[in-house]
Structure 1
Amino acid sequence: MNITWEKLLRLTAEHLTLSLSAVLLAIAVAVPAGIFLSRSRRLADPVITVVGLFQTLPAVALLAFMIPLLGIGSRPALVALFLYALLPILQSTYKGLVGVDAAAKEAGRGMGMTPAQMLVMVELPLAFRVIMSGVRTSTVMIIGWATLAAYVGAGGLGEPILTGFALVSPRLILAGGIPVTVMALLADFLLGRLERWVTPRGLRV
């Protein structure tokens, strides 16, 4: 198998699209769920335990389970990666909100803030760094695991890696592995910069 720069760029774009789509979907579900659980703490442990069960399943097994339900291609890969991405974001959102200083919340209530205003103006800004730690962890993890999407025909940088294993070709393995590593490191760096930029100046370390 020959891999040209054009093909490598196409596979990188597929890999990035699949990874970011899974993480964004996970954020859209896990952050509101974490907010809800921070208000209904009795449900937190059962819900987080159930979500955590997906982390115990081998990625290849979960992908194989998706095939009868969703066929092959990007859909089963996206669903599997979405399920894997949920736990770090859900946990960090819940812990970040639960860990907000009680004095800060009391001050907000003393100023007459509504629960919605408290959430947006006090709790989320104070919990943002903790939430972002979960997003960063999830993003780096999913970029790595997205290589397995090639097993279900979803494309991405897993294609040259799997072909390289089959052909015992270090060149192909590195052709897929190096961009994945660079992508994960770059994503972590950029999310770290975003975290610092959005965090209120007084809370920066």
Structure 2
Amino acid sequence: MELFFRYVGENWRDLLVFAWQHVAMVAVGLLLALAVGIPLGVLASRSRPLARVILALANILQVFPTLALLVLLMVVFGLGTTTVVIGLFLYSLLPVIRNTYVGLTQVSPTLMEAARGVGMSSLQAMATVQLPLALPFILTGIRIAVVVAIGVATIAPLVGGDGLGREIYSGINMNNPARLYAGAVPAALLALFADLVLERLQKSAKIGK
């Protein structure tokens, strides 16, 4: 542990840069997943046959081993952060789509009929009634996606990406436990912090509901 703390003390600036790169990759991948996944979840909630197709395709993406998927993407997009971000986007899709779909389908049809009865259009009822009630489910999907993405991002260096994984793989290659822990511990803390924050948001959404 003494070597670990000494290494962190001497290299904290570099570690902050790696942590920022890690967070940035996860954030971009997640935002893309939200931009695509929530509309797909909404679409799936409107049609059962379509839901089966959308969820099946998202499941197929999730079944791919992480490294295999990144290698396939690397063939198309080359080495670098772009490949990692696209991989994180694809891995984050399933929890976002599935939880949006489940949340929306759990809303009572009676409430939707009441919303339409007071003159709301389908879009207005979706925006003001269905989505707010489904928010705890959607946040659960986001929570799962974030934690998974932080873990997946640690293997980014294998396809030319940045982030805390650089320290992890440098530590393994150089047989340097201090370096390995300097990458692994912050990555684990990031995952725990993100999970805690999203859990609080999820509880707040349930209370508001």
- Superposed, which structure 2 residues align to 1:101-112 within 5 Å? 101-112=108-119
TM-score normalized by structure 1? 0.93
Query: Is 1:77 equivalent to 2:84 in the alignment?
Result: yes
Divergent runs of 4+, >6 A: none
Kindly tell me the number of residue pairs found equivalent between the two proteins.
201
TM-score normalized by structure 2? 0.91
Structure 2 residues not aligned, in runs of 5+: 1-6
1:29 paired residue among 36, 39, 64: 36
* C-alpha separation in 2, matches of 1:15 and 1:115: 40
Partner of 2:121: 114
* C-alpha separation in 1, matches of 2:186 and 2:203: 26
Give the CA deviation at 1:153. Answer: 1.5
Partner of 1:123: 130
Provide Cα deviations, 1:32-88, integer angstroms capped at 9, x if missing partner: 111111112211112211111111111111111112211111011111111001000
Structure 1 counterpart SS, 2:128: helix
Partner of 2:101: 94
Partner of 2:160: 153
Which deviates more from structure 2 when the two are superposed, residues 83-92 or residues 189-198?
Answer: 189-198
Identity %: 37
* C-alpha separation in 1, matches of 2:62 and 2:169: 23
Specify the code of the residue in structure 1 equivalent to 2:73: M
* C-alpha separation in 1, matches of 2:67 and 2:172: 16
Which deviates more from structure 2 when the two are superposed, residues 150-159 or residues 167-176?
Answer: 167-176
Alpha carbons 2:22, 2:153 under 8 Å: kept: yes
Give the CA deviation at 1:193. Answer: 2.6
* C-alpha separation in 1, matches of 2:58 and 2:134: 21
Provide Cα deviations, 1:76-126, integer angstroms capped at 9, x if missing partner: 111111100100000000111011112211221221211011101110011
* C-alpha separation in 1, matches of 2:62 and 2:173: 27
Give the CA deviation at 1:169. Answer: 2.1
Partner of 2:190: 183
Partner of 1:133: 140
Query: Is 1:60 equivalent to 2:75 in the alignment?
Result: no
Give the CA deviation at 1:192. Answer: 2.4
Partner of 1:164: 171
Partner of 2:15: 8
Structure 2 counterpart SS, 1:112: coil
* C-alpha separation in 1, matches of 2:191 and 2:207: 26
Alpha carbons 1:125, 1:199 under 8 Å: kept: no
* C-alpha separation in 2, matches of 1:63 and 1:102: 41
